[in-house]
Structure 1
Amino acid sequence: MYRRGCRAGLIGAVMALWPVLAPAAWAQAPTAPLPPPRPDRPEMPASEPRSENPPPADTPVEKTASDDNSAHSACLDRLTKLGLRFEKRPRVEEGRCSVENPVLLSSLPGGVEVAPASLMACPVAESLARWMSEVVAPEAERQFQSAPTKLLIGTSYQCRDQRNGAKLSEHALGNGVDIMGFEFAKRSPLAIASQSENSPEATFQSAIQKAACPIFNTVLGPGSDAAHGDHLHLDLRQRKGDYRICQ
């Protein structure tokens, strides 16, 4: 009876101390090492805590005034390199009419005078230079064996609506010019008009009008409508899908 009572007391004492002894025993017990990673699977790095503010997704870069100024400066630099004579003018603001990056153009490459000197947006001056160099001058040599010396301008910048009054004219944005004719080194001037069929003048005028279409977005002249019977209207109006009007 005494041994049985002692054993029961010992068991009771151990059970009473178990909540205290168990955590310490487990803490001191050795842990089995983790197996090495498989050769074909690199060891994964410890995961980093997830940020509560993840970086924003990429968004389109908005065009800024600095971008516009850079584009304007680049256009002016190209005019200078092409050999145009012009004066940089301040931005035009006249009611609803305005011209970004305007220039007063007085001559084109090859010394071709612009008469009168005309105010227009810089890209229009650049397009005129390209048209004169790539189209008008070579065609004048083919048809007249003479170089053009003067480009006669009717209207460049003018604050007005379109003839039908539907919206602002491209002239109101400095974005269009009306070509009235040309002067040449070795022949009489040529006015834009309905020319005699199969004549060198008709061939010249038709060629420079058609070849203006890849350079300008709108080309209107004799044969398109009554309003353009005595000049070529050229402008850089932007339309959806790069749509162009060439008549």
Structure 2
Amino acid sequence: MTDLGVRYVSLAPQEDGACTIPSPVRLLGLAANRDAQSSITFPQSPLIDCPLAERLADWLREAVSPLFRARLGSSLKAVATGVGYECRTRNRDPGAKLSAHGLGLALDISAFELSDRQRLRIGLTQDPAAEDALDVVRRSACGWFTTVLGPGSPDALHENHLHLDLQQHGSGAGYRICQ
């Protein structure tokens, strides 16, 4: 992953009952572009599985950062997240299936910070240009992740963050949930 410009700490595989992460990494940051002139940080240092870290790095570098530069005139500087790995069921419902968080295959993003100090919080009313940019970011995620949930999805628990995951759903690898 270092060849992708990702800064991380590798950890030993994690296992807690049904919850397992074969190749866990604590995500610290990544080069914002191929020449590594600037970086994107993860202040919460989420723990996620390596395949999710790679996909996230590509999406942020190839889609999100250029989108913010084009629409808002500022580069992506930091991504505020949840913890990533958490051994729990979906929506913490005792009868539900294991969450993708329990496999290190999910990450929640609550805000993006730009180089001009704008903080774009997911689900909070902002100026129309910021709202439009966040909507395009959410829609772009649908091409990179198998599940994208956020404001406006039928699940009200995702009104203040974007849930991104790589867990396979449905009958095949091409099945996507994008709400």
Q: Normalising by the residue count of structure 1, what TM-score does the alignment of the two structures yield? A: 0.65
Q: Give the match for residue 175 of structure 2.
A: 243
1:92 to 14, 23, 34: 14
CA distance in 1, matches of 2:7, 2:78: 13
Contact 1:140 1:147 in 2 (8 A): yes
Q: Give the match for residue 25 of structure 2.
A: 103
Large movers: runs of 4+ above 2 Å: none
2:115 to 152, 161, 185: 185
Q: Give the match for residue 86 of structure 2.
A: 158
Larger helix proportion of the pair: 1
Larger strand proportion of the pair: 2
* Structure 2 gap ranges (5+): 33-38
Tell me whether 1:175 sits opposite 2:105 in the alignment. yes
* Structure 1 gap ranges (5+): 1-78
Q: Normalising by the residue count of structure 2, what TM-score does the alignment of the two structures yield? A: 0.89
Deviations 1:172-205 (A, max 9, x none): 0001000010111113211101535x81111111
Q: Give the match for residue 129 of structure 2.
A: 200
Amino acid at match of 2:86: Q
Q: Give the match for residue 35 of structure 2.
A: none
Amino acid at match of 2:147: T
What is the Cα deviation at residue 135 of structure 1?
Answer: 1.3
Q: Give the match for residue 76 of structure 2.
A: 148
Amino acid at match of 2:113: E
Q: What is the number of residues matched between the two proteins?
A: 168
Amino acid at match of 2:177: I
Q: Give the match for residue 36 of structure 2.
A: none
Structure with larger RCO (C-alpha < 8 A, sep 6+)? 2
Coordinate RMSD, CA, aligned: 1.3
Structure having the higher Rg? 1
